[in-house]
Homo-oligomer: A and B are copies of this chain.
Amino acid sequence: MENIKSYVQQHKDRFINELIELLKIPSVSADTAYSQDVIDTAEAVKESLSKAGCDLVEVCDTPGYPIIYGEKIIDPNLPTVLVYGHYDVQPPDPLELWTSPPFEPVIKTTDIHPEGAIFARGACDDKGQMFMHVKALEYMVQNNVLPCNVKFMIEGEEEVGSASLAWFVERNQEKLKNDVILISDTGMISNQQPSITTGLRGLSYVEVEVTGPNRDLHSGLYGGAVANPINILAKMIASLHDENNHITIPGFYDKVQELSAEERAEMAKAPFSLEKYKNALNIADVYGEKGYVTNERNSIRPTLDVNGIWGGYTGEGAKTVIASKAFAKISMRLVPNQDWVEITELFTKHFTSIAPAGVKVKVTPHHGGQGYVTPIDSIGYQAANKAYTETFGVPAIPVRSGGSIPIVALFEKELKSKTILMGFGLDSDAIHSPNEHFGIFNYLKGIETIPLFYKYFVELSK
């Protein structure tokens, strides 16, 4: 398939400019202030799919943001690939840490990306990786090498829990019927060493509110005599981990799948430098659950992190106040077999139970999803591995990721098919952080590799 290389070379400037246009629209699904932008982005995705060669493209209404569905059916007897991606992005804050505005994409070179990388919110997660599939389709249609049927399902609520997607999938099982689901919303080890994500963590995301006195109080007149909601919240959060950084919620680990010594030994083979890791983050040391190494702590082990906390006076200067309320956003990453609904209940029950009499506690579940594991002996995995091997010159390594794509488990449940996570991003791309970017090399390599997946998946399916 040499022509894909030359086709990409021939059209790469246009491919890059088309992505840049998409990145200019601030499709932040978590903030209603951006709702029109999210809808505009959906429209732009629809047009790109039509142009790329889909026979049918629909903007499907949902209880939330629309889902873009596109398809090109060349022969009902051939396999069908369902491509999933999302057009919404994470909030860009803290804005002051961006070296260029998050929605004014610019190309800059970095040590890891000497050919340049596109800096913008969503460049990698997931507009850039989603758009690789659109351009791969364009190539296959233009050159009459599409070997099977293809369906696209691009949503706009991935960063806020995909509630509408679940609603949509449950109601469109026939329409979404497929033989394999293909997603590029993960990373790979390096530009020299591709990898395929075979495991994802589940997620339970909650918001907690601790209420003490019915109004803010003067910390001098009341300090020491009433429960201070901020001190209490800090104490409650601190108590969620023990001295070995095990999570203390009763029943939390009951269903956790322990890996065998062999599996852990296999994982340990993935290239990893603790020094480089610490230097990249500028930390003196790592920190985590006793008995596990870094690559296990962030992939095969469940975790609990506070994602945001606020309460009291946070402005300039000093205010001697005892706040009436304190808040935190807390998320737990779960591993296969942990049920996020059950974990959310365990958290709520425990967190409420540890509150002293002087405060009231409210726990509000945000969203969640189950963990997932892809068998490496599946046709999908093998096809992906052959594709990577051909474009990168080395086989891909299977890795377990700490991230969550809750809908992957949903797909298996509702659509009865396996998902292949062909990621082309890098850890250093700073997704969810200021200065998110996506390498030009990675973007074009993805467009080159995807058609090969189609080719080998059809061959291996025969």
Binding site for B on A (CB under 8 A): 29-32, 90-91, 93-94, 97, 159-161, 187, 201, 203, 205, 207, 212-228, 230-231, 233-235, 237-239, 241, 281-289, 294-295, 297-298, 301-303, 305-323, 326-329, 331, 333, 356-360, 366-367, 401-404, 427, 430-435
Cross-chain contact B326 with A307 (CB below 8 angstroms):
no
Picked from B289, B309, B322, the residue with its CB within 8 Å of the CB of A314 is B309
**Known A-B contacts A212-B283, A286-B226, A357-B285; A309 and B307 likewise in contact (beta carbons under 8 Å):** no
Docked-complex contact B305 and A402, CB < 8 angstroms = no
- Report the separation of the CA atoms of residues A397 and B282 in the bound assembly, to the nearest whole angstrom: 59
Task: Find out whether the CB atom of A307 lies under 8 angstroms from the CB atom of B321.
Answer: yes
Name the one of B161, B358, B403 contacting A286, with C-beta atoms under 8 angstroms.
B358
Q: How far is the CA of A329 from the CA of B359 in the complex (A)?
A: 21
Across-interface contacts of A231 in B (CB, < 8 A): 237-238, 241, 305-306
Cross-chain contact B222 with A298 (CB below 8 angstroms) = yes
Residue in B215, B235, B320, B427 whose CB lies within 8 Å of A331: B320
A328 CA / B366 CA spacing, docked (Å): 25
Interchain CA distance A392-B301 in the complex, whole Å = 69
Name the B residues within 8 Å of A327 (CB-CB): 314
Cross-interface CB contact of A203 among B187, B220, B225, cutoff 8 Å: B220
A311:B309 contact, CB within 8 angstroms: yes
Contact B310 A203 (CB under 8 A): no
- Which residues of the other chain, B, contact A328 by a CB distance below 8 angstroms? 230
Kindly provide the distance from the CB of A437 to the nearest chain B CB, expressed in whole angstroms. 12
**CB–CB A218/B431 < 8 A:** yes
CA distance A238 to B241 in the complex (A): 12
Contact of A221 among B218, B219, B326, B401 (CB under 8 A): B401
Known A-B contacts: A309-B312, A312-B329. Give 16 more (CB < 8 A). Answer: A30-B318, A31-B316, A90-B319, A205-B320, A214-B281, A215-B434, A216-B434, A217-B432, A224-B297, A227-B287, A230-B305, A234-B234, A287-B358, A306-B312, A307-B323, A318-B331
Provide a sorted-by-A list of 5 A–B residue pairs whose CB atoms are within 8 angstroms.
A220-B403, A225-B295, A230-B328, A307-B321, A307-B323
- Report which of B31, B284, B333, B356 forms a contact with A219, defined as CB distance below 8 A: B333
Residue of B nearest to A31 (CB): B316
Question: Bound state CA distance, A150 and B219, in angstroms?
Answer: 33
Of A314, A328, A430, chain B has the most CB atoms within 10 Å of the CB of A314
CA distance A29 to B359 in the complex (A): 32
Within 8 Å CB of A303, what residues of B? 219, 223-224
Asked if B226 and A283 sit within 8 Å, CB to CB, the answer is yes
Q: How far is the CB of A435 from chain B (nearest CB, A)?
A: 8
Complex interface: chain B residues within 8 A of A308 (CB): 230, 311-315, 319, 321, 323
Contact yes or no, A298 B216, CB < 8 A: no
* Closest Cβ neighbor of A90 among chain B residues: B319
Cα–Cα, bound, A91→B317 (Å): 10
Complex Cα–Cα for A234 and B268 (A)? 33
Give the distance in Å from the alpha carbon of A427 to the alpha carbon of B435 in the complex: 50
